[in-house]
Structure 1
Amino acid sequence: MKEMKTVDAVGQILCHDITQIIKGVTKDAVFRKGHVITEEDIPVLLSVGKDHIYVWENDDTVLHENDAAEILRQLCQNEYMTASEPKEGKIELTATVDGVFQVDESRFDDVNELDDVTIATLPQNMPVKAGQKLAGMRVIPLVIKKDKMEQVKKVAGDKPLLRLRPYQKDIKVGVVTTGTEVFLGRIEDTFTPVIAGKLKPFGLKIDEHRITDDVTEHTRDAIRELVDLGMDMIICTGGMSVDPDDRTPAAIRDAGADIITYGAPVLPGAMFLLGYLTHEGRTIPVMGLPGCVMYAARTVFDLVLPRVMTGERLTRREIRHFGIGGLCMNCKTCHFPVCGFQH
């Protein structure tokens, strides 16, 4: 690449796109990389502020911005993603399925630490829809040394930096509603319809529902029954606080679940429980939902449900990491997941 006066550039080959910006009208390339400059092009180039122009000259030690961006794409793109054509040194990735978007944070940060390359993504663990933009990447200069891009590849490693976990299909959901007052019909069960509403956007429904009193063994038996009926996910409501007669956590444990966490650094949702049952080779997530899920717009359940639906087995540390961003601002108009909650 070499720089020369635009008025002297007739016959030369552009080595980058030339962008024209007219406020409220257009922001696009008037000439593309590889365009051979003609006499008629000179006034146009001058009108977009290009008194000098960069034209191509052979140099085997450097890569054009579009070619370098293609390397970044290869390092980032994974299954269930589609890539745009390089434009002005930038490539974007878009989701092809609904799911949860994830980034290998450590390697990703190491790549972005390097000079002259940049990758920007959606927040970690964000639920996304097919057709939604996931990431954009580009190199800063018009050309970049080949050995620099070799360094980028070495730092990134062999596995893609990004991942989109698709939602599993045909998940059967079982719900156990606990509470003697509900079991005996003293009050209406207003919690179960809320759960049904949370499941509906994901194409799920409540396949089996059991109501039990506050006897631990009864709740335990209801959970085991739902497991035997082939439920892929079990949700328990009621009895999740620290009151002596709140016994749902004990029932979940007695049913055989490995408790990952009882308590989460999320407000609303501090008394959330997550465990996993193993039955005939299947791993079944069991969630105990605190009462806030019944009345708060967004809670810990909204953070965990999408990830559980992908088949991901969350760890205690991942739940504890929710604390950064785990304070819901209770905005008058909820924009979740396009907000700071969790992220």
Structure 2
Amino acid sequence: MEKIKVQDSVGTILIHDMTQIIPGVVKGPRFRKGHVIKEEDIPVLLSMGKEHIFVWDQTPGLIHENEAAQRLARAAAGSGLLLDEPKEGKVSFTADHDGLLYTSVDGILALNTLENVILSTLHNHYPVKKGDIVAGTRVVPLMIDESVIIEAERIARTFTDPLLEVRPLKHTKVGIVTTGSEVFHGRIQDKFGPVLRAKVENWGSEVIAHALANDDVDFIQRSIREQLNQGAEMILVSGGMSVDPDDVTPTAIKEMGADLITYGAPVLPGAMFLLAYIGDVPIMGLPGCVMYSKTTAFDLIAPRLMTGERLTRMDIVKLGSGGLCLNCPVCIYPHCSFGK
């Protein structure tokens, strides 16, 4: 810390906020801690009664917190993000569009293990809206050795994917097959279809076909093939997902040559969820809970598929940590622990 005349302070850095008081007009910080003094600031400082100020020594090899935060942010940020101007040493990351936040858990850990480096984010695969703040970064001291930031930049480059990005949900053509003899024969009204259609449209996609199918393997398979021929890029098969002998939806999907990823997910509700692929088209078998529970395994998995991600069994297995929904009286997902 050094005390110098205001007239000699251009290019130096303030170590504290400086308040300006103009009676009846303003009272508040005129210059913030970390502000780099410019020539035009000198008359203002003098008008505030500041003949001398305290600044940081200009030690070679040190960089200011604002520059450090900007460099950290640029190193971590991928597509779909906007970086705010530094404020009190912090840079915020804002979503440039709706989508899912993808984070590199290992990359964020590696950066935060560096002394005096901070990168805080929302959880991986968090649904975000345009304008949401999804992360923030800064360093602890006002001045930091540049070598620390250089190392952070190097670490970020070692990862194939960005440490942070927001991926948009692609417009997807979706087919729905509602199974069940009781629905097919009109004994009860189909309640599954409207729920699924509402979710699909909320994600910015469209339902191009909706079929009702009897509890018959061949019938279900024909319905799926017809929707594939119509150009469906995702197919949702609802109902008939339990282990009861007359629930044949899993059998129908598996026996039509689909690449089965999983039948079962460590998520409650949604344990009887099924994911398979026919070529690049994901087919999901949806248990009954999707019809009456506000949020299920389906809500955690379908948006990721709509970003273009191809999921593996391990991706589904990892959902177990945080996979318990608390069934709150008023659902506040995603602002809760579910799926985190």
TM (normalized to structure 1)?
0.88
Is the counterpart of residue 323 in structure 1 residue 320 in structure 2? Answer: yes
Distance 1:146 1:203 in 2: 44
Instruction: Flag the 1:53–1:17 CA change in 2: closer, same or farther, 3 A.
Output: closer
The answer on whether the counterparts of 2:15 and 2:54 sit within 8 Å (CA) in structure 1 is: no
Percentage of pairs with the same residue: 43
2:13 to 12, 15, 18: 15
For residue 27 of structure 1, report the CA deviation from its aligned partner. Answer: 12
Could you tell me which residue of structure 2 aligns to residue 92 of structure 1?
92
Letter in 1 for 2:226: E
Could you tell me which residue of structure 1 aligns to residue 170 of structure 2?
168
Deviations 1:89-128 (A, max 9, x none): 2111111111110111112101111111101111110111
- Once the two structures are superposed, the pairs formed by residues 185-204 of structure 1 within 5 Å of their partners are 185-204=186-205
The answer on whether the counterparts of 2:5 and 2:51 sit within 8 Å (CA) in structure 1 is: no
RMSD: 2.3
The answer on whether the counterparts of 2:170 and 2:205 sit within 8 Å (CA) in structure 1 is: no
Distance 1:275 1:44 in 2: 73
Is the counterpart of residue 253 in structure 1 residue 254 in structure 2? Answer: yes
Distance 2:264 2:49 in 1: 67
Letter in 1 for 2:2: M
Distance 1:253 1:80 in 2: 37
Instruction: Flag the 1:243–1:41 CA change in 2: closer, same or farther, 3 A.
Output: same
Letter in 2 for 1:116: N
Instruction: Flag the 1:180–1:90 CA change in 2: closer, same or farther, 3 A.
Output: same
Equivalent residue of 2:252, what SS?
A: helix
Gaps of at least 5 residues in structure 1 are 46-51
Equivalent residue of 1:144, what SS?
A: strand
Is the counterpart of residue 304 in structure 1 residue 311 in structure 2? Answer: no
Distance 2:247 2:257 in 1: 18
For residue 243 of structure 1, report the CA deviation from its aligned partner. Answer: 0.4
Distance 2:274 2:165 in 1: 26
- Once the two structures are superposed, the pairs formed by residues 208-227 of structure 1 within 5 Å of their partners are 208-227=209-228
Could you tell me which residue of structure 1 aligns to residue 271 of structure 2?
270
TM (normalized to structure 2)?
0.89
Deviations 1:287-327 (A, max 9, x none): 00000011111111111121111111111111111111111
Deviations 1:222-266 (A, max 9, x none): 111111111011000111001011110111112222111100011
- Equivalent residues, number: 323
Distance 1:231 1:65 in 2: 51
Could you tell me which residue of structure 2 aligns to residue 289 of structure 1?
286
The answer on whether the counterparts of 1:20 and 1:27 sit within 8 Å (CA) in structure 2 is: no
Instruction: Flag the 1:27–1:312 CA change in 2: closer, same or farther, 3 A.
Output: farther
The answer on whether the counterparts of 1:16 and 1:88 sit within 8 Å (CA) in structure 2 is: no
For residue 10 of structure 1, report the CA deviation from its aligned partner. Answer: 2.9
Could you tell me which residue of structure 2 aligns to residue 115 of structure 1?
115
Deviations 1:257-291 (A, max 9, x none): 2111100011110000011111xxxx111000000
Distance 2:50 2:323 in 1: 55
Distance 2:297 2:27 in 1: 41
Distance 1:27 1:216 in 2: 75
For residue 42 of structure 1, report the CA deviation from its aligned partner. Answer: 5.1
The answer on whether the counterparts of 1:95 and 1:132 sit within 8 Å (CA) in structure 2 is: yes
Letter in 2 for 1:322: L
Distance 2:27 2:331 in 1: 32
Deviations 1:14-44 (A, max 9, x none): 51474479xxxx9985204123563443579
The answer on whether the counterparts of 1:224 and 1:255 sit within 8 Å (CA) in structure 2 is: no
Equivalent residue of 1:226, what SS?
A: helix
Equivalent residue of 1:207, what SS?
A: strand
Equivalent residue of 1:135, what SS?
A: strand
Q: Which stretch shows the higher mean deviation, 118-127 or 29-38?
A: 29-38
1:337 to 306, 331, 334: 334
Is the counterpart of residue 41 in structure 1 residue 48 in structure 2? Answer: yes
Could you tell me which residue of structure 1 aligns to residue 151 of structure 2?
151
Could you tell me which residue of structure 1 aligns to residue 70 of structure 2?
70
Equivalent residue of 1:211, what SS?
A: strand
